[in-house]
Amino acid sequence: MMGWCPNDGNECHHDGYCKDCEHNEEKGMNEEEYNRMKILLKAAFDILKKQKESPYVLNCLATTAIWDDAECDGYCLMEEIAEILEIDDES
């Protein structure tokens, strides 16, 4: 997918992440971290999509999605997102 680099405005062929962009290291993100965030965003999307398609109100923390070849619930997803965002979920 081609788009524009969010860092310098040049053409980007890396789905929004330019592995050759000199600004990535400044932002502290490498390609592996970017790919991990995409996986977790897809899992969050899947859980929200289940809610959208359901005629009932679902418990998003109990609803499951599959990532890393495992079925995990919203609690697990929330913990992994908090870890990436460096959020202390205990507070």
Q: Tell me the pLDDT tens digit for each residue of 21-78.
A: 655 554 566 788 888 889 999 999 999 999 999 999 999 999 999 988 999 999 999 9
pLDDT, position 86: 84
pLDDT, position 33: 83
Q: Residues 6 or more apart from 82 whose CB is under 8 A from it? A: 88, 89
Q: Residues 6 or more apart from 52 whose CB is under 8 A from it? A: none
pLDDT, position 48: 94
